[in-house]
A and B are shown apart, each in its own frame.
Chain A
Amino acid sequence: MITKQLLEHIEGEASVYFDIKDDKVDFATITFPHFRGMESILKGKNALDALVITPRVCGICGHAHLMAAVRAIEDAYKNAGFEIKLTQKAQKIREFTLIMEMIQNHFKWLYMVIIPELVKLISIKLEKTPLKGAYAASLSAKAIAVFGGQWPHSSYMIPGGVTSDPTFIEIMQARSQLEELIKFFEKETLGISLDKFLTLESCKDFNGFSSDLTNLEKGLIETGMHTKGFAKDQFIVLGEHGFTNSSKLKGTRTFGINSKYVSDTDAYSPQEITYAKNALYKNEYYEAGPLGRMLSQSVPLIKNMHRRYKDSAYSRVMARVFEIGYLLEYSKILLDNFDIDEDSVVTVTDIKQISATGIGVVEAPRGPLLHKIELKNGMISQYHITTPTQFNIGSSTPQTPTPVQQAMQGLAKKDALFIFRTFDVCSVCTTH
Chain B
Amino acid sequence: MHSKKDNKKKLLWLQGVTCNGNTHSFLNLPYLPLLLSKIELLYFPTMEALYTFEEISECKLSCDILVFEGAFDPELKRNDILIQTMLEHYSKNAEYVIAVGSCASFGGIFKASAPQRNSGLLFNESERTGPMLEVDQKIINLSGCPIHPEWLGYTLNMIINHQKILLDEMHRPRELYSNLAHHGCTRNEYFEWKVDAKGFGLKEGCLFYEQGCRGPMTHASCNKILWNEVSSKTRSGTPCFGCTEPDFPKQNFFNTKTNMSIPEDVPLGVPKRNYLTMAGIAKTFHIKRLEGKLIDYKTTP
Contacts and interface: CB of A to CB of B under 8 A. Distances in A.
Interface of A: 6, 8-9, 11-13, 33-38, 40-41, 45-46, 48-49, 51-53, 56-60, 62, 90, 108, 112, 116, 128, 130-131, 134-135, 137-138, 141-142, 144-156, 158, 160-165, 167, 173, 340-341, 343-345, 347, 428
A158 B254 contact: yes
Contacts of B235: 149
Given A145-B230, A146-B231, A149-B231, A156 B236 contact: yes
16 contacts: A8-B52, A9-B48, A11-B20, A36-B19, A46-B251, A48-B253, A53-B109, A60-B24, A108-B27, A112-B46, A138-B228, A141-B228, A145-B229, A148-B238, A156-B237, A428-B20
B201 A164 contact: yes
A430 B28 CA distance: 24
A53 B20 contact: no
Contact of A134 (B27, B230, B254): B27
A165 B232 contact: no
A345 B201 contact: yes
* Closest 3 pairs between A and B when the two form their complex, measured CB to CB: A344-B201, A345-B201, A149-B236
A141 B146 CA distance: 14
Contact of A34 (B17, B295, B297): B17
Contact of B199 (A144, A154, A345): A345
Determine chain B's interface SS by DSSP, over half rule. loop
B202 A165 contact: yes
A36 B27 contact: no
A161 B21 CA distance: 25
A340 B199 CA distance: 18
B145 interface: yes
Interface string B111-148: 01110000000000000000000000000000001100
Nearest to A351: B254
B110 interface: yes
Given A36-B17, A45-B251, A153 B145 contact: yes
Contacts of B236: 145, 147-150, 154, 156, 163-164
B232 to A, nearest CB: 6
Contacts of B234: 149
A344 B200 contact: yes
B113 to A, nearest CB: 4
A57 B46 CA distance: 17
B20 A60 contact: yes
